[in-house]
Amino acid sequence: MRTCNICNSPEKIELERMYREGKTIKSIEQYCREHNYNFTYGMLYYHFKNHLIRDNDTIPIPTNLINRLINNLEICDRKISEMINSNQIEPNILIRYISEIRHTVVELRNLLKEYNVKETKPESIFNMILSLMHDLPEEWIKKFQERYLKWRENPNLSPIYY
């Protein structure tokens, strides 16, 4: 079995942090040269591709992709707030921003899938919410269960129809 110099080095955490922050392997190689760490591009590549995945079962999502999605949501949030504050609500434009939010969330879901981020099972979320509701009126709990079942049948239906 091939041994990995990086796994056995004290610089491991520092280099992995750089990689997770979205630095390219090439720029990390440059950093190593400047600090007299004896790691080649090949060693870095081998470690990040093989050992990082095995450690966490995930690949770090490039931060620029996440930032783009967050930026999108912030624009929608700002536009909707502006519209509400100015008291000039134009339903067509409002719907456009809401559908843009949905589109962004779908893109985020695809991104998580692509990067093998584990999804939380809906059932475990459902049970968690139920346990959080334990001391609320029984009527509310029943209503929540009904809505959940409707949502299970048709997850794409807008919540306002429940």
Question: Which positions lie near Zn ion, rule CB under 5 A?
Answer: 4, 6-7, 47, 51
Smaller CB distance to Zn ion: residue 11 or 107?
Answer: 11
Nearest to 57 by CA among 111, 18, 8, 115: 115
> For the packed helices 25-34 and 12-20, what is the interaxial angle rounded to 10 degrees?
140
Do 78 and 35 form a contact (C-beta atoms < 8 A)? Answer: no
Nearer to Zn ion, 6 or 25 (CB): 6
Q: Return the number of the residue (53 or 70) whose C-beta is nearest Zn ion.
A: 53
* CA–CA gap between residue 29 and residue 38 (Å, rounded): 9
Helices (H), the chain: 12-20, 25-34, 41-46, 52-56, 63-85, 91-114, 122-132, 138-153
Of residues 6 and 28, the one with the C-beta less far from Zn ion: 6
Distance CA 149, CA 29 (A): 52
